[in-house]
Structure 1
């Protein structure tokens, strides 16, 4: 019985310690007295837990003092260099990396060109491991302080098992990718769908801050979406919620790479725009279509306008299903042609169901190209940092 009581006491102690660390991380800088008020714990207990956290190197006393009446209180803050995570964004033709410190700031960026379709998943994993080792060494970070790696991957992901079930963008099927990284580096790794990672970063750091229910639409080489409700990513039964690109617009329409006809992505992704443009002019990149539209070329303006209409229809479908307060437009198409957001809003007036008009906002991604790297670093932080409950600290 004594042993059980001791274990219960240890669990409670660890819970309280993590709660105090969480408070310091979210409300920093903060005084011991303020923590006492929030937790309603005794000043002695708070002092003891704070001392332990200082000794473990995850928090520190700052030179700042509170400006309240009476005795000045020394403020507490987290120690940014206490630990780090790595965020990775795997795209069709490149891989981006970022090192995130404990303050959730990206302290180093890196990008390499890489065509996943030209090699195997194992070769991609080997390249990622090589680049991560190099980044850590260049930053002079002790290897043991890197507690986790988060990776955003396009496709259907079993994030609990770390398996890429299907990624047509990368040409992968049933790849245990997290295991490939963990075996090589010995660092815990979590992977997730790239748009689910992106919406997490927008919720924590970008456009979706303060939103209760946000939908994100990603438009680029494919089409997808993600939903976050009260801070939780909506995953669906198999983590596949949001595969908008393969919703059907016209069963007799364009042939899609998935084998079906009339999928949404065959009307508004980059390849669709290029194929449409080639009926008029030989183009090799979607940016040429944007440039022609900016120059006032009628054929290009019509393509962009039609695309904006389909995006408006997509927004209407999402709003009718989920009733979000915010819809974020992201991806290369939006980032390279910001004017399309205004066109989408114009077309949305025609297609949004009347009860929802004026009840939500449509905004472009705030974090742009860094969103997935930041979200992947944050995902690893949530899974493996002290606040996840995995911190031994003793």
Structure 2
């Protein structure tokens, strides 16, 4: 019974906090009305949050019959979290305020051969550098969120398996907590990015959002009524390793014919180098633009598989919004229109063509940092 009561108190606190954060300015009466909590419970929680410096009271407004209510808002700088994105070739670290604004960010190169221990130390060094330069105050930081490609046990911060990073069973959360002294939350990069897009980006107001990411890997994430759909192992959405051709190209995961073998930047460059010395994906697209038939074929095939992926996700999840994102989408904005045209003209099942919005990512390269920072904030207010 005590456990249940504590859980309810934490959830109520988080609910009130999220209401004020997402709908400010808002009155205590409106929070009580929309959440079903008693005015006494709302008043107690608001009092705690005000005393701790997270919210402030603003002007009074009339709410009928001559009564006036005080509106509540957030103190954006009262809580800061650090949002981190780990990718094959980059470490990105950002400072995220209570409204999900990225107030500072840095990007640092990393190599594929870099060990987990080195990467964790470098994240800690970047944070220390921010503190030394007075970019953020230590007392403001309530946690760190890390988003990365692969399967993550988000309950204990373990990277179960990441093909892109070459990691397996890495105790990332525990290691980073020891170095920084801060609470660390680790999750899949697309899951936190989808959360950020729904709260701050292209899917505001959506009740069922599917995000697709095409870049160094291929993946998806689903947000249902504001909650991340995780599956049994937090691996829901790993569409990059669905089989599209059992006799096809070998994937770096060890299977043959995985979807991502035909779309990702590394796989495209690997095939391109069988014909010409291509070092970057920009060179590959430049070859297509000059009329090189082999480059036209590779990119055309990738776009076809992207459109097929959209159809498959729409058929499986029936979302109201599908977000097109990832490094390829960021580097080549015209791909959005090319994929959209293929979806609607050739691949999306006709009864579902008008059932969803196909939109670009609005947060782009900042999405994972913002989503990771927001995840850390959510966990902080649940536990505090």
Please indicate, yes or no, whether the TM-score normalized by the shorter chain is above 0.5. yes
Deviations 1:263-321 (A, max 9, x none): 11111111232234335432111111223334555543443222211111111221222
Q: Does 1:86 align with 2:113?
A: no
1:135 aligns with one of 123, 130, 138: 130
Instruction: Give the equivalent residue in structure 1 for 2:315.
Output: 320
How many residue pairs get aligned? The number is 382
Q: In structure 2, how many angstroms separate the alpha carbons of the residues matched to 1:190 and 1:47? A: 30
**Residue deviations 1:130-176 (CA, integer Å, cap 9, x gap):** 11122234345442331111100111111111101111211211111
Number of the residue aligned with 2:376 = 380
| Change in CA separation of 1:39 and 1:203 when aligned onto 2, cut-off 3 Å | closer
Distance in 2, Cα, partners of 1:320 & 1:192: 26
1:87/1:32 CA distance change after superposition, 3 Å:
same
| Alignment pair present for 1:251 and 2:251 | no
1:216-245 superposed Cα distances (whole Å, 9 cap, x missing partner): 111111111111111111111111111111
- The answer for the alignment partner of 1:206 in structure 2 is 201
Query: In the alignment, is residue 96 of structure 1 matched against residue 60 of structure 2?
Result: no
The residue aligned with 2:103 is 107
Query: Paired residue for 1:227?
Result: 222
The structure number with the bigger radius of gyration is 1
Structure 2 contact 247–256 (Cα < 8 Å) conserved: yes
The question of 1:123 aligning with 2:118 is answered yes
The more displaced of 362-371 and 352-361 is 352-361
Higher relative contact order (CA 8 A, sep 6+): 2
Query: Aligned in 2, Cα 1:178/1:45: closer, same or farther, shift over 3 Å?
Result: closer
1:278 aligned onto 2:297: no
Greater mean deviation of Cα atoms: 346-355 or 248-257: 346-355
TM-score, normalised by the number of residues in structure 1: 0.86
Determine the C-alpha separation between the residues in 1 that align with 2:6 and 2:271: 65
Which range is displaced more, 354-363 or 150-159? 354-363
291-300 or 118-127, which deviates more: 291-300
Gaps of 5+ in 2: none
* Aligned CA distance change for structure 1 residues 144 and 246 (closer, same or farther; 3 Å): same
2: CA distance, partners of 1:9 / 1:212 = 29
Q: Tell me the equivalent position of 2:188.
A: 193
TM-score computed with the length of structure 2 as normaliser: 0.89
Shift of 1:199: 1.0
Contact 1:79–1:103, Cα closer than 8 Å, also in 2: no
1:308 and 2:303 equivalent?
A: yes
Superposed CA offset, 1:50-103 (max 9, x none): 4553332111233x5548786876533121222211100011111111111223
Counterpart for residue 331 of structure 2 = 336
Residue 167, structure 1, aligned to residue 162, structure 2: yes
Give deviations 1:310-354, integer Å, cap 9, x for gaps. Answer: 111111221222121222111111111121222212222212223
Query: Residue in 2 aligned with 1:179?
Result: 174
Select 2:149's aligned residue among 154, 158, 165.
Answer: 154
Q: 2:349 aligns with which of 335, 353, 357?
A: 353
Distance 1:192-1:35 versus aligned 2 partners, 3 A rule: closer
Distance 1:23-1:217 versus aligned 2 partners, 3 A rule: closer
1:28 aligns with 2:24: yes
Return the alpha-carbon distance in structure 1 between the equivalents of residues 158 and 12 of structure 2: 34
Give me the CA root mean square deviation: 2.9
Three-state SS of the structure 2 residue aligned to 1:293 is: helix
1:42 deviates by 8.4
Q: Which residue of 1 aligns with 2:49?
A: 53
